[in-house]
Structure 1
Amino acid sequence: MKLKQGIGVVFNVKDINRTEKFYKDILGIQVERQSGGDEPDWLMATLGNGVELMFFEGEEQIGRSPIIVFELEDGYMETVLESLSEKGVEIVNPVSEAPGGWSADFKDPDGHPLAFYQLGSLPLK
C-alpha cells in the first residue's frame, strides 16, 4: 500500500449553506462549492501543506465525522482492504463511488472513522 502526501478531513454536516457561511465568513477560510453532478453540492477548502477539508450534507452521517481520509496512489483498493481485514481491521463500508473516484471506510482500534480515497476509475486487479 502506498499513500499520497497530504490528508483530507471529511465532515458530514446538516446544512451545507450554514457550513459554507461559517467557514467563509466567520473563520475566513477559502471554501469552494463543488458541483456533485447528480449528487448534491459539497464544499472543499485547501488549507496548504496537503490538508483539505471537505463538507458533505447528509442526515444519516451526522455524528460520524470528521473522518480522516488517506489518498491511495496506484493499486487496487480492494486488495488493500482485504489485507487490512486479514489483520483484524474493521471495514465499515467497502469500496464505493465518491466524487471523482472511489472510497472505503474503516476504523482504527479505538473506533475512530478513517477512509481511503483513490482518484479516477477503479484500477483492475
Structure 2
Amino acid sequence: MITYKQLVFCLLVFVSTIGPAYVHGDDSLEWVQKDNRRFLHVVYRVGDLNRTIKFYTECFGMQLLRKRENPQKKYSKATLGFGPEETYFVVKLIQKHGVNKIDIGTGFGHLGIATQNIYEMVELIRSKGGVITTEPGTLEGGGTTIFAFVQDPDGYSFELVQSGPTPDPLSQMMLRVIDLDRATNFYEKALGMKLLHKFDNPQEKYTVSIMGYGELFQSTYLELQYNYGVTEYTKGNGYIQVAISTDDVYKSAEAVKLVTKELGGNLILPPGPIPGIKTKVTSFVDPDGWKAVLVDNEDFLKGLQKKE
C-alpha cells in the first residue's frame, strides 16, 4: 500500500514534469491584477504599405521603426510609432502581396492620437489629401476636449485629441462590442485592466467604457463602445489583433480560460514558445470575437534586441 508521503512525492514529481504550472482557481485571477502589463502593439492589414508609411510619417509624425519583406510567404510588414517599442505602443502594418483593398468592417472603431496642436495636424492631413470626417470641435451639449476624426488611405479612422505633453501620442484604440457590461467585466477579470472612465452619449446613442493599465490620458487605453440597439458587427479582413505584455503567459492563460467559461470567448493558442522564435505567447478571442495576444515581457525585450 502506498503511504501518504509516497503519494505527496509522486504528486510533486508529476507537477515538476509538466513545465510552468497554471495557478489554480481564483488565485490566477488575483495574480492578473498584479501582473506587469502594458499595450505593446496593434496589428492590421493595409492595401499599400509604402503609401501608408508615407501618410503616417508625414501626417501623424510617426517614425518608421522597422520594415521587412517576406517574398516566400508573400507579405510585407512595417512597424511604426512615436518612439521605441520597448516603451511605446506601436502599429504593425501588414500588406499581403496582391491584395490592395481592405475591408475594415463595422466593428473596428479607431485609433487615437494625442496632439498639442490639433488644428495644425488637421490642416497638414488635409494638404496631403487625407480625409477629414469630423472637423476639430467639442462634443455637442458639453465638454471641453477638442477632437477631430480623420481617415488614412485605407479608410481606418483616427481620433485626434488636443492634449498637453503625453508619454505616448498613440494613446488609444476603440472596438465596438455587443454587451458593454460583459466586455468590461471580461477585460477587468481576464486581463487585469481597470475601468478608468465610463460615459453615455444619448444624443449619439452610444456608451463607452475606457479600460487601461495606468492613468487616463497618461497611458494607452482601450475604448469599448456599445451602440444602442446594435446586435451584430462585421469584422472585415483589416484588423488582426492587439498585443499585451505579461510576466507569465501560463498564469495569464489560466485566468483567460477561467473567465471565458463565465463570460464567453475562447483560448485559441495554448501558452508556450513560438516554434523557431522561442518567445512565449498565448492568444484568445474575447466574447465579441476580438483577438488579443499576451507576450512574455523578457522574451519580448530579447526579441527586440535580436532585431536590432
TM-score, normalised by the number of residues in structure 1: 0.66
- What is the identity, as a one-letter code, of the residue corresponding to 1:113? Y
- What is the identity, as a one-letter code, of the residue corresponding to 2:212? F
Q: Name the one with the larger helix percent.
A: 2
SS of residue paired to 2:192: coil
Identity of aligned residues (%): 4
Contact in 1 for aligned 2:188/2:195 (Cα 8 Å): no
Q: Pick from 7, 21, 24 the counterpart of residue 126 of structure 2.
A: 24
| Superposition RMSD in Å | 3.2
Gaps spanning 5+ residues in structure 1: where? Answer: none
- For 1:116 and 1:45, locate their aligned partners in 2 and report how far apart those are by CA, in whole Å: 20
- What is the identity, as a one-letter code, of the residue corresponding to 1:42? F
SS of residue paired to 1:70: strand
Gaps spanning 5+ residues in structure 2: where? Answer: 1-105, 214-218, 230-308
Name the residue aligned to 2:222. Answer: 114
User: In the comparison of the two structures, how many residue pairs are matched?
Assistant: 112
Change (3 A) 1:54 1:120: farther
- For 2:150 and 2:211, locate their aligned partners in 1 and report how far apart those are by CA, in whole Å: 21
Deviations 1:47-76 (A, max 9, x none): 47662111121327x33442121122x32x
Q: Name the one with the larger strand percent.
A: 1
Q: Pick from 90, 95, 106 the counterpart of residue 198 of structure 2.
A: 95
Change (3 A) 1:114 1:64: farther
Matches for 1:43-122 after TM superposition, within 5 Å = 43-47=148-152, 51-59=156-164, 62-66=166-170, 67-72=172-177, 74-75=178-179, 77-97=180-200, 100=204, 101-103=206-208, 104-107=210-213, 113-120=221-228
Deviations 1:5-39 (A, max 9, x none): 334111122122112112111x3211130542223
Deviations 1:83-117 (A, max 9, x none): 2222142225142246933322225xxx8533212
- For 1:33 and 1:46, locate their aligned partners in 2 and report how far apart those are by CA, in whole Å: 12
- For 1:97 and 1:70, locate their aligned partners in 2 and report how far apart those are by CA, in whole Å: 16
Q: Does 1 or 2 have the higher relative contact order (CA < 8 Å, sep 6+)?
A: 1
* Greater C-alpha radius of gyration: 2
Point out 4+ residue stretches in structure 1 off by more than 3 angstroms: 46-50, 97-100
